[in-house]
A and B are shown apart, each in its own frame.
Chain A
Amino acid sequence: MQQQGSLVCVGTGMTLGSHISPLSRSYIEQADVVFLLVADGITEQWLQQMNADVRSLQPYYQTGVSRMLSYQQMVAAMLAEVQLNKKVVGAFYGHPGVFAWVPHNAIAQAKAEGFAAHMEPGISAEDCLIADLGIDPGTYGCQHFETSQFMFYKRTIDPAAYLILWQVGVAGDRSLAKRSTDGRYRQLLIEVLAEHYPLSHQVILYEAVTLPIQQPRITQLALAELVSAELDPKTTLVIPPASKMIVNQAILDKLAALQADDQNNESC
């Protein structure tokens, strides 16, 4: 039986005033309670004007404590209000479903308990990155990984495609308790990447705009320079293709044979 409480996780987009959708704004305005997690304090204050009961999720983060515990507490806090049969909104900056464990798990748990729950998309950091850097992920293909996960597991990398590594500022942190990692960790990341890219390969550090008075950060540097680069935890590493796509001649030959068959059949 469907319960009365509900949960909607909405994206507020990246840039204050520019990106929030009319629907996401309406959900925020009409909610009984709004839980908020955004990228800067000014945007937080802006969103707090939209509803009388807006609760920041910031206090759940505690220095030196695994963020995983914070994430689970955030989910529990939202679910507790849903269980009181309230209309609950989780407002997350960017897209609430992109590199965002909390909204996905909150929605899954609410559904499992019989509550209505869904997600409304937002303009993500990836969307801004594509626009600001003028790249099209369709041109050469594009792979995305969370940086630490990319380091922890052996992945198949295609250096003919774009490679985008998120949360590079905390590269290699298994504790989830660090607010940044230093050059020693980044050197290991470079070691992994050097299996596929020359150390002189030009890469890009990118940060999207959160306030409309800002400019995006777009810093080009050699891969080897990453070890000493200034990184903010919201910095993203973009690695352009380093090699050409290799033609799959065997498949092309088979496709040509199919096309010839089609033409023969049409002429019969």
Chain B
Amino acid sequence: MNNILQLLQKLGEDASLRHLPATQLEQVLNPLDFDPAVKQAIAVKDNEKLASLLLTDNKIVCMIFPAEEPTPSDKPAEEPVKQPSDTPEPAEHDIKKAG
């Protein structure tokens, strides 16, 4: 997993790799000791497939801007703020933030 993340970082930060066509990208991937399915997902630029192979949720909620300022009814209930580990997982993650 770490090696795959390091490769993605390299693809993102190296000017010679950032916009490689698929054929040349395959040449970069071929010598690497990765799961062939992961290589294939990167080669065909299928980020959803890659996310599923890496067991990550690729559709996560990250919108953090309201259209209107909060009203009094939006105030949290008088209960302690839950820590992430205590909070139930959402049934689905499918919102993206804009900014």
**Which A positions have Cβ atoms within 8 angstroms of B?**
15-19, 37-42, 44-46, 49, 55-63, 66-69, 71-74, 76-77, 80, 92-95, 98-103, 124-126, 146-149, 152, 166-167, 169-170, 173-174, 176, 179-180, 210-215, 232-234, 236
Contacts and interface: CB of A to CB of B under 8 A. Distances in A.
10 contacts: A37-B97, A41-B56, A42-B8, A45-B56, A68-B66, A74-B64, A99-B99, A148-B67, A174-B68, A234-B96
Contacts of B60: 38-41, 44, 58
Given A41-B51, A41-B58, A57-B84, 18 more contacts: A15-B12, A17-B8, A17-B12, A37-B62, A44-B60, A49-B5, A55-B84, A58-B93, A59-B84, A59-B87, A61-B95, A101-B66, A147-B67, A167-B65, A174-B68, A212-B12, A214-B45, A234-B97
Contact of B99 (A17, A77, A166, A176): A166
Interface residues of B, number: 51
Contact of B82 (A42, A73, A101, A148): A73
A124 B62 contact: no
A93 B97 contact: yes
Interface in B41-99: 42, 45, 47, 50-51, 54, 56-68, 70, 74-76, 81-85, 87-99
Interface string B11-40: 111000010000000000000000000000
Contact of A72 (B5, B18, B76, B85): B76
